[in-house]
């Protein structure tokens, strides 16, 4: 009952987006298993798999920027519907063809148009929520993602091993269901001016181009760069981790990976409200630093725990807590420091930095795995998160001193 009370009184479209996120992630079967699909079903090497996954990540960069610009200048609603619709259709077609090159090409097309979606949903959420409600509203849509993920990977693991064509078909169909819900319940939210109170100076409309806006906000620009270290680490949950599970548990690797992803989602579902009630009293960057510590422990231990599935569960619990803390706070920091007429584009830049860090994490680590083995990856991830924690701490100190001088 307390969970429902926590999320009471939010705008109706937030509840609609909550449902959209549940359905999208429940049916998000293909991309979490992409590295296993390429290595096990399509027989690509680790290094080639890294290149393909890197390409799928890189294409989201221009797509996210294009989608963000469209959402800011034209329409949030139409941008989402077009991007999600084409992405869903591309995945759906994969269920009816067998040619590996055609499948890879369509998946890259799907990844491109999926790049339209995230900045648009972020902008809609920021549009309709006041600064005081953003952490709660963002956590609800984030909770929806993880309710879907709680069951999705288990279903996907079963389909991956037994009905590969249905993996693609059901992924596409679930996206179309989400599109229908969005079309019915989410109205256009693009600001026309005057929707942000005057006291929120950082959210007032800004003139100039995107680069000029970021240069005038060095804290925001540095935050986007520093966050790449955390994104680099988190991207291993869909690249190195499934291959690690396959290496350690052999034939049971895909199923065990699915279980870990469901444990991740269940952890998020049950801990999100509790953690928000604890961390809402802290500054946003402090929360992200705390989340980084949980990342560092969770990912760092993977390379030294051997074949104990119980310890893999402990590792997953640790980085999942880190995820619960960092992800909503990332969105809140961006929303509170972005001009309202640049929201989708700032989100697109955030997606760009995530894609770059993911591309680095897949291409470089793919070759690293070929040479040194999957077990050696996790010490590098540990170091990356540690560097991110140090830099985020420095940014927090800079912000504190800068605000004290005002």
The vertex-271 CA angle with 267 and 277, nearest 5°, equals: 165
Q: What is the pTM of this model?
A: 0.78
**Cβ-contact 168, 229 below 8 angstroms:** no
Residue 390's pLDDT band, with cuts at 50, 70 and 90, is very high
Residue 151 sits in which domain range? 11-189+208-405
- For residue 399, what are the CA distances in angstroms to 107, 292, 388, 396? 41, 19, 16, 5
Q: Is residue 22 part of a domain?
A: yes
Does the structure show a pLDDT above 70 at 195? no
- CATH assignment at residue 161: 1.20.1250.20
Residue 197 lies in a domain: no
Which residues, including other chains, have CB under 8 Å from residue 199's CB and lie 6 or more apart? none
pLDDT digits (tens, 9 = 90+) for 50-66: 888 888 878 888 898 89
Q: How confident is the model at residue 2 (pLDDT cuts 50, 70, 90)?
A: low
1 pLDDT above the threshold of 70: no
pLDDT digits (tens, 9 = 90+) for 223-266: 999 999 999 999 899 889 998 998 898 888 888 998 898 888 88
Give domain status of residue 95, yes or no: yes
Is it the case that residue 198 has pLDDT exceeding 60? no
Angle at the Cα of 229 (from 107 to 322), degrees rounded to 5? 90
Note the pLDDT of residue 33.
Answer: 76
DSSP labels, 73-121: HT-HHHHHHHHHHHHHHHHHHHTT---HHHHHHHHHHHHHHHTTHHHHH
d(C-alpha 373, C-alpha 393), whole Å: 33
pLDDT digits (tens, 9 = 90+) for 145-182: 878 877 777 787 788 877 778 888 888 999 999 999 99
Domain-embedded: residue 3:
no
Q: Domain count for the chain, please give it.
A: 1
C-alpha gyration radius of the chain: 20
Query: Which whole-number Å values give the CA distances from 126 to 130, 134, 288, in the listed order?
Result: 8, 7, 19
Q: Which of 202, 145, 128 is nearest to 26 (CA)?
A: 145
Q: How many CA atoms lie within 13 A of 145 on its CB side?
A: 16
Is 34 among the domain residues?
yes
Answer yes or no: are the C-beta atoms of 313 and 260 closer than 8 Å: yes
Residue 202 lies in a domain: no
Residue 356 Cα to chain centre, angstroms: 13
Task: Kindly state whether residue 75 falls inside one of the protein's structural domains.
Answer: yes
pLDDT at 406: 56
Q: Which residue has better confidence, 217 or 293?
A: 293
Give yes or no for residue 31 having a pLDDT over 70. Answer: yes
- Model pLDDT for residues 113-123, shown as the tens digit of each residue: 988 998 899 88
What is the average pLDDT across 312-328?
94
Q: How many helical (H) and strand (E) elements, i.e. helices and strands, does the chain have?
A: 18, 0
How far apart (Å, rounded) are the C-alpha atoms in residues 38 and 46?
A: 9
Q: 6 in a domain, yes or no?
A: no
């Amino acid at each position: 009952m307390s969970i429902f009370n926590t999320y009471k009184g939010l705008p109706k479209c937030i509840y609609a987006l909550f449902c959209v996120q549940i359905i999208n992630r429940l049916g998000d079967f293909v991309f979490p298993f992409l590295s296993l699909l390429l290595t096990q079903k399509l027989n690509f090497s680790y290094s080639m798999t890294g290149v393909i996954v890197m390409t799928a990540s890189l294409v989201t960069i221009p797509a996210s920027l294009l989608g963000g610009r469209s959402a800011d200048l034209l329409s949030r609603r139409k941008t989402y519907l077009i991007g999600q619709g084409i992405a869903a259709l591309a995945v759906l077609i994969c269920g009816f063809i067998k040619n590996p090159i055609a499948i890879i090409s369509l998946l890259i097309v799907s990844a491109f148009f999926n790049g339209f979606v995230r900045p648009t949903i972020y902008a809609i959420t920021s549009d309709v929520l006041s600064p005081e409600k953003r952490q709660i509203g963002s956590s609800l849509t984030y909770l929806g993602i993880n309710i879907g993920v709680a069951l999705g990977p288990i279903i996907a693991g079963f389909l991956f091993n037994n009905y590969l064509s249905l993996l693609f078909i059901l992924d596409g169909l679930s996206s179309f269901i989400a599109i229908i819900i969005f079309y019915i319940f989410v109205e256009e939210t693009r600001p026309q001016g005057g929707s942000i109170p005057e006291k929120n100076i950082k959210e007032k409309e800004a003139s100039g181009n995107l680069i000029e806006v970021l240069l005038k906000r060095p804290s925001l620009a540095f935050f986007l760069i520093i966050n790449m270290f955390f994104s680099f680490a988190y991207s291993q949950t869909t690249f190195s981790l499934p291959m690690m599970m396959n290496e350690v548990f052999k034939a049971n690797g895909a199923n065990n990976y699915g279980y870990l992803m469901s444990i991740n989602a269940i952890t998020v579902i049950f801990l999100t409200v509790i953690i928000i009630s604890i961390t809402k009293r802290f500054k946003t960057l402090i929360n992200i630093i705390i989340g980084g510590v949980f990342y560092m422990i969770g990912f760092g231990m993977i390379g030294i725990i051997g074949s104990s599935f119980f310890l893999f569960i402990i590792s997953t619990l640790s980085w999942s807590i880190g995820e619960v803390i960092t992800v909503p706070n990332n969105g809140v920091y961006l929303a509170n420091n972005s001009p309202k007429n640049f929201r989708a584009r700032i989100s697109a830049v955030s997606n760009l930095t995530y894609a770059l860090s993911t591309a680095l994490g897949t291409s470089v680590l793919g070759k690293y795995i070929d040479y040194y083995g999957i077990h050696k990856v996790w010490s590098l991830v540990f170091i990356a998160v540690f560097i991110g924690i140090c830099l985020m701490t420095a940014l927090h100190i800079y912000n504190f001193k800068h605000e004290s001088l005002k």
